[in-house]
Amino acid sequence: MSALSVFAPAKINLALHVIGQREDGYHLLDSLVAFAPVGDRLTLRPAEGFSMTVSGPEAQGVPTDHSNLVLKAAALFAAHTGMTGGVAFHLEKNLPAASGIGGGSSDAAAAIRGLLQMGFGDASSVQARVLGQLGAALTRLGADIPMCLSPEPQRAQGVGDDLTAATLPPLPCLLVNPRVGVATPAVFKALIQKDNPWITTPPQFADAQDCIAWLAVQRNDLQPPAIATAPVIATVLETLAALPGCRLTRMSGSGATCFALFATPAEARAAETALRASRPEWWCTEGTLGDQRAASAPRPAFNVAQISRG
């Protein structure tokens, strides 16, 4: 079996409402997510056992032992499918860690997509059965993993496992992280109101501006407690709101990554250029949010020598 390359796109919570809490402590959520054309890249190569290496601009501090979600997801896959042999994973880490954009969960989901391709090829019915068997275990491993398996706009409810496809227009976006890690448990601990209203049922949107106007009356209920934990998030939101063309700012997930939405990709690109000049210490990137399923499908991985041989 040849090596595979799988794209792991950033997951953006356009809205995130905390609507309750179960007796076991899990919070009940109602979230609308879309995926960005930026993310990590995972390479899978057949090997004797499971192993992990990491490179890339955001590689520092990413574990390569079995505490990494990629290796945990691979172990689950092997246990549920009887997979023999192993895989050497290499992660090109481009997304900042602990930043509220699902980096680790998207990496784990990319591992599952790659393992499904290695084990079952294009047998979609077999893949669907395997994912059905894995679903509950993957949710326990990471609540964002199921939604990242199919990186398309979705409404995620329950603890993140009740997923419904959503129809959204392309949303030009600027993502910004101030290089401050925010621990999700600390944010939920600081959350005072835990029985907030649901998201308003999304209508059919005419265009990006129509969608942005609807999003403006939704919320991220984790934003206030995250700001209390890391006040720099408020600075990021204020800075984004002041950029020319910015239509909406909000934090994604439990932070600290924030986003600004624009009416056109040109406005988003101009905003990125301006922000890089004024805040070079922040991580930022622009792109159009939407459906990344085609981009994240497993593909053959070629090295330079193979390409040069044609």
The residues annotated as belonging to the active site are 11, 144
Asked whether residue 103 is marked as a ligand-binding residue, the answer is yes
Asked whether residue 102 is marked as a ligand-binding residue, the answer is yes
Let me know if 198 is exposed, middle or buried by CB neighbors in 10 A (0-12, 13-18, 19+). Answer: exposed
| Whole-number Å distance between alpha carbons of 52 and 66 | 9
SS3 at position 104? helix
Instruction: Please state the φ and ψ torsions of residue 194, each to the nearest 5 degrees.
Output: -120, 10
Asked whether residue 104 is marked as a ligand-binding residue, the answer is yes
Asked whether residue 106 is marked as a ligand-binding residue, the answer is yes
Asked whether residue 255 is marked as a ligand-binding residue, the answer is no
Cα distances (Å, whole numbers) of residue 218 to 26, 29, 38, 208, 248: 22, 13, 25, 15, 11
SS (H, E, C) 234-249: HHHHHHHHCCCCCCEE
Asked whether residue 290 is marked as a ligand-binding residue, the answer is no
Question: Using alpha carbons only, what angle is made at residue 107 by residues 208 and 292, rounded to the nearest 5 degrees?
Answer: 30
Asked whether residue 105 is marked as a ligand-binding residue, the answer is yes
Q: Answer yes or no: are the C-beta atoms of 275 and 243 closer than 8 Å.
A: yes
Q: Answer yes or no: are the C-beta atoms of 154 and 163 closer than 8 Å.
A: yes
Q: Cite the annotated binding site for ATP by residue number.
A: 96-106
Q: Cite the annotated binding site by residue number.
A: 96-106
